[in-house]
Amino acid sequence: MTKTNSTMFQFVIIFMLTLMIQLSDESEFLVDRSKTGLIHVPKDLSLKTTILNISQNYISELRTSDILSLSKLRILIISHNRIQYLDISVFQFNQELEYLDLSHNELEKISCHPTVNLRHLDLSFNAFDALPICKEIGNMSQLQFLGLSATQLQKSSVLPIAHLHINKILLVLGDSYGEKEEPESLQDLNTESLHIVFPTRKEYHFILDVSVSTAVSLELSNIKCVVNRCPYFLNVLSKLQKNSRLSSLTLNNIETDWYSFIMILQLVWHTSIEYFSISNVTLQGYPDFRDFDYSNTSLKALSVHQVVTNVFRFPQNYIYTIFSNMNIQNFTVSGTHMLHMVCPSQMSPFQHLDFSNNLLTDIVFNDCENLAKLKTLSLQMNQLKKLVNIAHMTKKMKSLQQLDISQNSLGYDKSEGYCPWAISLLSLNMSSNILTESVFRCLPPRVKILDLHSNKIKNIPKDITGLEDLQELNIASNDLAHLPGCGAFSSLSVLIIDNNAISNPSAHFFQSCQKIKSIKAGDNPFHCTCELREFIQSIGQVSSEVVEGWPDSYECDYPESYKGTLLKDFRVSPLSCSTALLMVTIGVIGLVLAVTVTVLCIYFDLPWYLRMVFQWTRTRRRARHIPSCELQKTFQFHAFISYSEHDSAWVKNELLPNLEKEGIQICLHERNFVPGKSIVENIINCIEKSYKSIFVLSPNFVQSEWCHYELYFAHHNLFHEGSNNLILILLEPIPKYSVPSSYHKLKSLMAQRTYLEWPKEKSKHGLFWANLRASILIKLMEQAKEIDHVHS
């Protein structure tokens, strides 16, 4: 079973590896050697190359041997080189080749080859005289793009490709075009989109008919007609009316006069064209003040981009009136020096107006009722100043949903009063202005998308109301110090607030903003302190897609030691952050300590140990540096032991063996009994022969034995207060009341508490004996020293 499984597993692995190799084989292998000063096709190309870019070099020749080995080559870009002649048969071994860009070379001639079947062939911007259309191109059944260039056009030269349906044809006419023109030469082109580039800087005197019947989209570049009001070009345009398929016209790089410009518009108005775009226009002269015929148009969208005019000293209202009354849906005028736009004189069909990048001021569309169908308006990059004026402007635009007034100099101050925004307004772009927090008192009530990035907002006022519909708020690149909650914006789902001055974002953000789907708060100067920890934790609790740019654009800015650390990697111990936790921890540790000490005291008698250890160490300290040979000089015994008969079992079984095994010599009055003497005499004899006197104290001892000693001590002042010669062992506790009041000595000795207590627990016995022996020996040593001292 296991064996078959592992075989299966190996098989799957091998299969997957094979698949991966095949897949990687099929993926593109791009070699970019553009702009490298090549004068030949490089020889060191990988055989895997599928895309080769050798554009912008100095290559003048392409040979079979250059590319023979590149059997996988699909895309070859040799534009902007110096190739003058090409035999397409050089590609006969590159069977995969489908995209060939030879534009911007110096080609005068090509020879074709039947086996090459391209999708994209660009021969534009070359030096061909006649169209470089050989009959083999007619066999390129896949051809989608064909770029051509010529200085002469002949109807016959187009025929080989007349049967192909090509998506786009680019035709670049050389500088000497127009000498022997055949107006009908393009009629047989079969293409959806035609782009003709006329010779630059050459007056438009052409009669070429550009209304190719198959074309849906037509683009004409470089039209210069500044003399005689452009009759040739207007004539060419008027022919477009024939072609009812044409729906899109683009004119680039036009140099003309105001009259012709209006005429161009007028002509296009009566064609089938729906989308008309004019860009890069240079205008001269003055317009003729004549009526514009708006009737019968197919036009839906007109765009005018980049207009430069050297004369604007005429009543411009004429132009503005023509523009504002256009009966189209979409109208764009951008990148012009347009100063104003008037209100349409009747209800306008305008739905989308883009007047970005002009010089419009606050009075634009002031009090204009006829833009009630307008849905979107862009006044981006103009000269707008007061937000309240713009709000007034929208008041009567009943359908306005989107307004872009970004990149102006808009400001708003509360004192400027109420902002009567169009109630329909849903999206408002006010980015890149000079608005402050007071803008929150001048917002459309139902706005859903609000872009306020790059302004001067320092905070979001707490008391704002009525933004329940707001879904997207971009307030990046302002001066906000705090992350706002969603109190005022209960529908907020997208918040962009990066590049502000937020150092301690609130951890309650996600609680407050239940509907948030995306927040982008990176690139703020985060202070990596305890408070931030909670915010980081709260990020950890939401799905990672919600926090945009996490973790890379969230870095600590402070303290210095954490600068540049990703918030993701910022760690600080919980203890150092929470005072409460710290107090609790200290409390708990204290409590544990107290309990331990108590337990030790109660169960293990810690004080006893401490006392013992204290005595032991004291004795040890004193014992240092005393030579042992000086011991046992004068006395016969080390110690005399006195005890009650009642305790004799303990003395004989415990005390004696433990002392004598260490070589301590003991005098016992019954053992070392001198016959013929009384007990007291014997005892005194023993005391006098011993360094030490050990008394084993117990209630019995106090009652039966101590009387001998009280008397003795009274006569011989041998044991003065604090004397070292006495060692008291407390075998059993002696209640104070049981000591007769006449025993002064005993009382004073016991009061000093210098006795050794006999512990009941076996585990403590070792320490007890050690301590006792040390006491005997140290006292011996000291005595020996003292004696020495006296003798010398």
Ligand X SMILES: *[C@@H]1O[C@H](CO)[C@@H](O)[C@H](O)[C@H]1NC(C)=O
User: Which residues bind to ligand X, rule: CB under 6 A?
Assistant: 34-35, 53, 55-56, 77, 114, 135-136, 139, 253, 255, 280, 282, 295-296, 300-301, 329-330, 352, 376, 380, 404, 406-407, 429, 431-432, 449, 451
The residue (of 271 and 500) whose beta carbon lies closer to ligand X is 271
For the CB of residue 404, give the shortest distance to ligand X in the complex, in Å.
6
For the CB of residue 51, give the shortest distance to ligand X in the complex, in Å.
7
For the CB of residue 291, give the shortest distance to ligand X in the complex, in Å.
13
For the CB of residue 564, give the shortest distance to ligand X in the complex, in Å.
29
The residue (of 219 and 255) whose beta carbon lies closer to ligand X is 255
**Beta partners for residue 757, in sequence order:** 730
Q: Which helix (H) or strand (E) holds 622?
A: helix 606-623
For the CB of residue 255, give the shortest distance to ligand X in the complex, in Å.
4
For the CB of residue 136, give the shortest distance to ligand X in the complex, in Å.
5
The residue (of 46 and 596) whose beta carbon lies closer to ligand X is 46
For the CB of residue 376, give the shortest distance to ligand X in the complex, in Å.
6
For the CB of residue 26, give the shortest distance to ligand X in the complex, in Å.
19
For the CB of residue 116, give the shortest distance to ligand X in the complex, in Å.
10
The residue (of 231 and 349) whose beta carbon lies closer to ligand X is 349
The residue (of 234 and 447) whose beta carbon lies closer to ligand X is 447
Burial of 347 (0-12, 13-18, 19+ CB in 10 A): exposed
* Contact (CB, 8 A) for 730 and 755: yes
For the CB of residue 575, give the shortest distance to ligand X in the complex, in Å.
45
For the CB of residue 207, give the shortest distance to ligand X in the complex, in Å.
21
Location of structure tokens 């849905």: 375
The residue (of 138 and 551) whose beta carbon lies closer to ligand X is 138
Say how many C-beta atoms besides its own lie within 10 A of residue 233's C-beta.
Answer: 25
The whole-angstrom separation of Cα 399 and Cα 290 is 32
Determine the distance from the C-alpha atom of residue 645 to the mean position of all C-alpha atoms in its chain, rounded to a whole number. 90
The residue (of 171 and 353) whose beta carbon lies closer to ligand X is 353
The whole-angstrom separation of Cα 740 and Cα 706 is 10
If you count them, how many residues does the chain have? 792
Helix (H, G, I), strand (E, B) or coil at 135: helix
For the CB of residue 240, give the shortest distance to ligand X in the complex, in Å.
15
**What region does 711 belong to: left with phi over 0, alpha with psi -120 to 50, or beta?**
alpha
For the CB of residue 423, give the shortest distance to ligand X in the complex, in Å.
20
Burial of 658 (0-12, 13-18, 19+ CB in 10 A): middle
The residue (of 450 and 664) whose beta carbon lies closer to ligand X is 450
Burial of 16 (0-12, 13-18, 19+ CB in 10 A): exposed
The whole-angstrom separation of Cα 74 and Cα 118 is 10
* Contact (CB, 8 A) for 107 and 128: yes
φ, ψ at 600 (rounded to 5°): -60, -45
* Contact (CB, 8 A) for 505 and 532: yes
Closest CA to 356 of 383, 329, 386, 378: 378
For the CB of residue 161, give the shortest distance to ligand X in the complex, in Å.
12
* Contact (CB, 8 A) for 235 and 203: no
Exposure class string for 234-262: b at 16+ Cβ within 10 A, else e: bebbebbeebeebbbbbbbbbbbbbbbbb
The residue (of 283 and 651) whose beta carbon lies closer to ligand X is 283
Helix (H, G, I), strand (E, B) or coil at 116: coil
The residue (of 272 and 783) whose beta carbon lies closer to ligand X is 272
∠ CA 268-269-271, nearest 5°, is 65
For the CB of residue 416, give the shortest distance to ligand X in the complex, in Å.
23
For the CB of residue 537, give the shortest distance to ligand X in the complex, in Å.
31
The whole-angstrom separation of Cα 305 and Cα 36 is 36
The whole-angstrom separation of Cα 463 and Cα 458 is 15
Location of structure tokens 């250059």: 66
The residue (of 224 and 692) whose beta carbon lies closer to ligand X is 224
Q: Are strands 690-697 and 637-642 parallel, antiparallel or unpaired?
A: parallel
The residue (of 457 and 749) whose beta carbon lies closer to ligand X is 457
The whole-angstrom separation of Cα 709 and Cα 718 is 11
* Contact (CB, 8 A) for 458 and 436: yes
Closest CA to 204 of 233, 174, 239, 172: 233
* Contact (CB, 8 A) for 727 and 695: yes
DSSP-assigned letters across all residues of 26-78: HS--EEE-TTS--SS--S---TT-SEEE--SS------HHHHTT-TT--EEE-
The residue (of 223 and 784) whose beta carbon lies closer to ligand X is 223
The residue (of 213 and 277) whose beta carbon lies closer to ligand X is 277
Q: Amino acid identity of 405?
A: I
The residue (of 204 and 562) whose beta carbon lies closer to ligand X is 204
The whole-angstrom separation of Cα 289 and Cα 52 is 56
Say how many C-beta atoms besides its own lie within 10 A of residue 327's C-beta.
Answer: 15
**Beta partners for residue 30, in sequence order:** 51
* Contact (CB, 8 A) for 33 and 18: no
Angle, in degrees to the nearest 10, between helices 744-752 and 706-715: 100
The residue (of 473 and 702) whose beta carbon lies closer to ligand X is 473
**Beta partners for residue 374, in sequence order:** none
The residue (of 454 and 504) whose beta carbon lies closer to ligand X is 454
For the CB of residue 274, give the shortest distance to ligand X in the complex, in Å.
7
The whole-angstrom separation of Cα 405 and Cα 407 is 7
For the CB of residue 138, give the shortest distance to ligand X in the complex, in Å.
7
The residue (of 473 and 532) whose beta carbon lies closer to ligand X is 473
Q: Are strands 30-32 and 99-101 parallel, antiparallel or unpaired?
A: unpaired
